[in-house]
Structure 1
Amino acid sequence: MNRLHPLSAVSMALQRGVTGFSMPFFVVMILSSFVDAVDIGWVFWLAPIGLVVGVGYGLAYYYRFTYAITADTFDVTSGVFSRRSREIPYRRIQNVDVSQGVLQRVLGLAVVSIETAGGGDTEATLNYVAEDEAERLRSEIRRLTAGAEEPPVDGPTDSAAAADTSPAAEPGPDDRPRDADTPIPLFDLEFRELVLYATTSFRWGAAIFPVMLVVFLQSADSDSQAGAVPAFVFDVAHPFGGPASLDGAAVGPLLVLIAITALQWAAVTYVASAIYTVANYYGFHLGRAGDDFVYERGLIQRYSGSIPVEKVQSVTVTENPLQRLVGYAGLWVETAGYGPDSGGGSQSAVPLAGSDRVYRFAETLTGIESPRFRSPPTLARRRYLVRYAIIGAILVAAAAGLAQVSSLERWYVAAIVFVAVPPAAHLRYVNLGYAVGDDHLVIRTGFWKRRTTVIPYYRIQTVSTRRSIFQRRLGLASLVVDTASSRTFSWGMPTIYDVDLETARELQGTGRERLQSALRERARGDDLGLSVDFT
């Protein structure tokens, strides 16, 4: 059994010690507010005791934490009072990621995270090991994972990937034999592409930064309105007709304040999103080591990891209107229990590159030719037109109602939203499509974030038909394709929207038949179905 790096004991002791030292302050202060018998002076002798207990617990946790690589499993034992022993079969391991912060890089330490199928949560985390030990663990686990059997849920046993014979992959200087542990470079994100990626993408998670900024400025601004709104918010909105304060402000100036504040929030969020993207994807490299993709990225926090090609569930090309305008797109892959935006992290194979190059990567990676998309029936476009018209009517009605209880005038100007209804319905319709191939199902959805997902039939878990009340009235249905990958609120399951009910049933039957056919062919040919050589 192996132990973590000795500096882990120092880190755990400090973390637990700080926690133990600070907890008495919160507990005593809260109790003293309700119980007269509790004296605030207790903090001065409880806090040192908490510090000692916390340091002792951190050291005990370090000495009780062990890990080992065995022939069939990766074993982890942890816990001080309640012991937990985990044996992680190699066939269930999806990803092995290594991350390093600035201080960790200075000290030569790294965090190793092991992800398994069944969810985005990390199965085992090693805080911390030496850099060379982290690399040894990743290489050894990757080697043992490649030799392990596939889980029954994903179909027949997989073996090592065969050489890529796709016509899109041409032999080059990197095709010469080399050490299996030495990655073959596949893609490097240039700084120009990184800047373009940062300025053409928007991450809603960065919205927490303006909130933190307001809280900080609020605490520093003694003149803030009722301690709720920083003064600079009023200063920016006032030249545009906003109120000087909240006291006695009319509805019109308050609406101006809300609009200007929303614009400030969006601008700060956009800047924070760009900074995060640069810091997160700086120095992005993608390579091939054996049958795995290996990547490395990050400026302040450095990440590296492997993506087993035999565990890939689907491949998705993403592009927003700005990226389409300049001719760029991104390529994502998903493994079982670990997908884009999941808790374990995103699986970006190519963050941003020329659209032609990305689509060529996707075609070579999956072996699929350029799909010929089918569109939903035109009845679906009329459905979207009615849907967006109803939304517009609700907005106009809300403006009219607001005018009845406030000094708001010309509420009817809100009817201008109806101008956007026809193009919005058309754009949603024309960006929907699906293609039924011999070996893959391809689904395209979205305008603001268009996603083109390629799903091998043998990776499909279930195909279900869903119909809302309105779809039933129109004879339409949506087909949901579920794989074993991890999904989040912002990245849902691939869905073919608003096709005829008969077409949906036909697609469901076709998917089921071709799934069984693909599994039989894989059982005979023992083929991965994907290529790792997409240069």
Structure 2
Amino acid sequence: MTDAPDAPDTSTEPWRRLNPRMLLVHPLRELIRYLPVLLIALIAGAAGGEPWWAYVLSGLGVVFGILRFFTTTFRITPTHVQVKSGVLGRRTLSAPRDRIRSVDVDSTLLHRLFGLAVVKVGTGASHGQDELELNAVALSEVPALRAELLRLAATEDTDDDGTARAPANLSGWQPRWVRYAPLTLSGVASIVVVAAAALQLNFFEGGILTRLPVVQQGIGWVAHLPLLTTALWGAGGLIVIASLVAMARYALSYGGFAIHRARPTTLHIAHGLLRARQVTLDETRLRGVLLSEPLSLRAAGAASAHAIMTGLGRQRGGVALIAPPGPRDEALRIAAEVLGTSEPLDVPLIEHGPRAHRRRYTRAATFAGVLAFAALVLQLLGIVGPLVWWAFAVIVPASALIAEDRWRGLGHALQPGWLIARSGSLNRRRAVLATDGIIGWTIRRSFFQRRAGLATLIATTAAGRHRVVIPDLPDSQVWPIIEAISLRHEELSPGQYLARYAAAV
């Protein structure tokens, strides 16, 4: 994607405006964006302040939202997609059509109320370039626009009687999978965001929240409770609220999750209740899959899966969700469906040896030692009492268990055409990467790794910021992996390929 407002233009294609209904969407969206500012104004008014600047900022936001319609135009030429935008500073974004890798359709609740959607064109741009976005397009025009951008064939699959055949839904998503949501950290993350926003809000007008009568009464009531009671009720309330928030977010984000293979090399992913999202991916850009199994989900036999793709841009990190948190067997099935084979997902992994095993426990002991030193310092300063040492009755065994789990999850394997790597405990990931998608290697050795005869091997890809990391690999296995994958580009049979790798190791 290029940003060239002064580039010569020889195309005769006319410039088009976006849907005029965006004159209603953008001002309302700007008002929603300034809701925190308006909230400050309302609270400040209740507390005796007059933040007139809040109303001025909100009004300017509405004006700029209206001006965006009159200053935004686009066109699709035989070779490029171009968008002109900007109120104060004009600019033209141009993307070659042969570089388009994906088309995302995002329709928030506000957009859906007016029958609109945001179409985002993915070209694999890096180095911080802006993405090409058409905001907003009528929902009825989205399928034709998406087909035109991706140059899909206009024909449809038909039955014997000539009627159009709907593509099969590859996903087996079920509403009852919402039970896995509390095992993710989405609820806790939402609470942290709200708490941070409340703390920032409290800085305005000299502690605007703590001056409200209802907040002062609540603080006074909590202050009279015993410390242990407050801690238990607070922890219980946090768990309940975080679980409810996580379940609500899961249902709204992944409701109706579906994957269709619109064409032999095209995946179409759709999900979302209030905010509908659609992603169309070119499978010729598929470079592998990533199976994510955080500790909490793994304990419940659950996992999620992502496709490793080129052309998704830096914001996505080169991965696209193909299976939301759900049963592990379902995530494996979808990953195998996308890959076209299940063998790399089931192959046994090669262990990294006793030195990597010992390093897992060394790092766990180091973590516990740092906490013990911090506890000692705090006790000497009189901040905490001797009871703090009882916490290590949990910390030490937990560190040892996590170290053992990290060791059990560490491994790699080579299959004809595939590099498989797995690592982690709290967030265990198994990456299956096509060796043809590897564009470079990085070998890292810290001071302690060099002493232990270990190294971290990193396979870099063209899929955004995504890379496959094999940590704590014995030195003797680093170059055999690189050489075996390089040899694979020769005309070797699968048996010769694996035999030469095994001999090298």
Match of 1:510 among 484, 489, 501: 484
Q: What is aligned with 2:43? A: none
Which residue of 1 is the match for residue 133 of structure 2? 125
Which of 401, 418, 423 does residue 445 from structure 1 map onto?
423
Partners of 2:230 and 2:299 in 1: CA distance: 33
Q: Map 1:101-500 to 2 at 5 A.
A: 101-119=108-126, 123-143=131-151, 182-193=166-177, 195-203=178-186, 205-206=189-190, 207-212=192-197, 219-222=208-211, 232=218, 235-236=221-222, 239-241=225-227, 268-290=241-263, 291-338=265-312, 342=315, 347-366=320-339, 367=341, 369=343, 370-406=346-382, 408-416=385-393, 417-487=395-465, 493-500=467-474
Q: 1:365 deviation in Å? A: 3.0
Q: What amino acid is aligned across from residue 199 of structure 1 in structure 2?
A: P
Structure 2 CA distance for aligned equivalents of residues 68 and 265 of structure 1: 50
| Letter in structure 2 aligned against 1:444 | R
Amino acid across the alignment from 1:142: L
Q: How far apart are the structure 2 equivalents of 1:468 and 1:483?
A: 23
Alpha-carbon contact 1:188-1:286 (below 8 Å) kept: no
| Distance across 1 between alignment mates of 2:51 and 2:473 | 70
Kindly provide the amino acid, as one letter, of the partner of residue 227 in structure 2. G
Instruction: Measure how far apart 1:506 and its partner are.
Output: 1.6
CA distance in 2, matches of 1:174, 1:362: 27
Which amino acid counterpart does residue 438 of structure 1 have in structure 2?
Answer: P
Seq. identity, % = 26
**CA shift in 2, pair 1:258/1:342, >3 Å:** farther
* Cα distance, 1:4 vs structure 2: 0.3
Match of 1:65 among 42, 64, 72: 72
Which is further off, 323-332 or 471-480? 323-332
Q: Shift in Å at residue 435 of structure 1?
A: 0.8
1:7 to 2:21 alignment: yes
Could you state the TM-score of these two structures normalised by the residue count of structure 1?
0.72
| Shift, 1:433, TM fit | 1.1
Taking the aligned partners of 2:342 and 2:230, their CA distance within structure 1 comes to: 52
Report the residue type matching 1:432 in the other structure.
Answer: L
CA deviations 1:487-514 (Å, max 9, x no partner) are 4xxxx63211111112112212223333
Give distance in 2, aligned partners of 1:285 and 1:139: 19
Report the AA paired with residue 422 of structure 2.
R
Shift of 1:307: 1.6
SS class of match (2:170): strand
How far has the Cα of 1:91 moved from its partner? 3.0
Q: 1:163 — aligned with what?
A: none
What is the SS of the residue equivalent to 2:397? helix
SS of 1:376's equivalent?
A: coil
- Corresponding residue SS for 1:300: coil
After the TM superposition, which of the residue ranges 183-192 and 461-470 deviates more from structure 2?
A: 183-192
In the TM superposition, what is the alpha-carbon distance from 1:456 to its structure 2 partner?
Answer: 0.4
In the other structure, the counterpart of 2:84 is 77
Displacement of 1:74 in angstroms is 1.7
Displacement of 1:408: 1.0
Q: 1:108 to 1:344 in 2, by over 3 A?
A: farther
| Post-superposition offset of 1:316 | 1.0
The answer on whether the counterparts of 2:289 and 2:308 sit within 8 Å (CA) in structure 1 is yes
The CA deviation at 1:267 is: 5.5
2:284 alignment partner, SS class: helix
State how many pairs are aligned: 452
Find the aligned partners of 1:128 and 1:343 in 2 and give their Cα distance: 22
How many angstroms apart in 2 are the aligned matches of 1:43 and 1:389? 54
How much does 1:17 deviate? 9.8
Is the 1:94–1:335 contact (alpha carbons within 8 Å) kept by the matching residues of 2?
no
Give deviations 1:89-134, integer Å, cap 9, x for gaps. 2332222111222232222111111122134876111121111122
What SS is found at the alignment partner of 2:467?
coil
* Cα separation, 2, equivalents of 1:178 and 1:371: 43
Deviations 1:188-236 (A, max 9, x none): 421112x123233223642213334566798455378xx9x97646755
Amino acid in the other structure paired with 1:90? R
* 1:507 counterpart SS class: helix
Question: What CA RMSD, in Å, does the superposition of the two structures yield over aligned residues?
Answer: 4.2
- Relative distance call for 1:232 and 1:338 in structure 2 (3 A) is farther
Question: Do the aligned partners of 1:280 and 1:301 also contact (CA within 8 Å) in 2?
Answer: yes
**Contact between 2:106 and 2:118, CA under 8 Å: does it hold in 1?**
yes
Match of 1:96 in 2: 103
Other structure's SS at 1:283 match: coil
- Residue 472 of structure 1 and its aligned partner are, at CA, apart by 0.6
- Is the alpha carbon distance of 1:308 and 1:402 closer, same or farther for their aligned partners in structure 2, counting shifts above 3 Å? same
Question: Given the two structures, how large is their TM-score scaled by the length of structure 2?
Answer: 0.76
Q: Contact (CA 8 Å) 2:294, 2:428: kept in 1 or not?
A: yes
2: distance between equivalents of 1:19 and 1:423? 45
Aligned 8 A contact 1:312 1:333 in 2: yes
Q: What does residue 168 of structure 1 align with?
A: none
Aligned-pair distance for 1:306? 0.8
Distance of 1:257 and 1:511 partners within structure 2: 58
Say whether the 8 Å CA contact 2:309–2:318 is kept in structure 1.
no
Asked if the contact 1:18–1:51 (Cα under 8 Å) also holds between the matched residues in 2, the reply is no
Inter-partner Cα distance in structure 2 for 1:310 and 1:196: 35
* 1:137 to partner: Cα distance: 1.1
Partner amino acid, structure 2, of 1:384: R
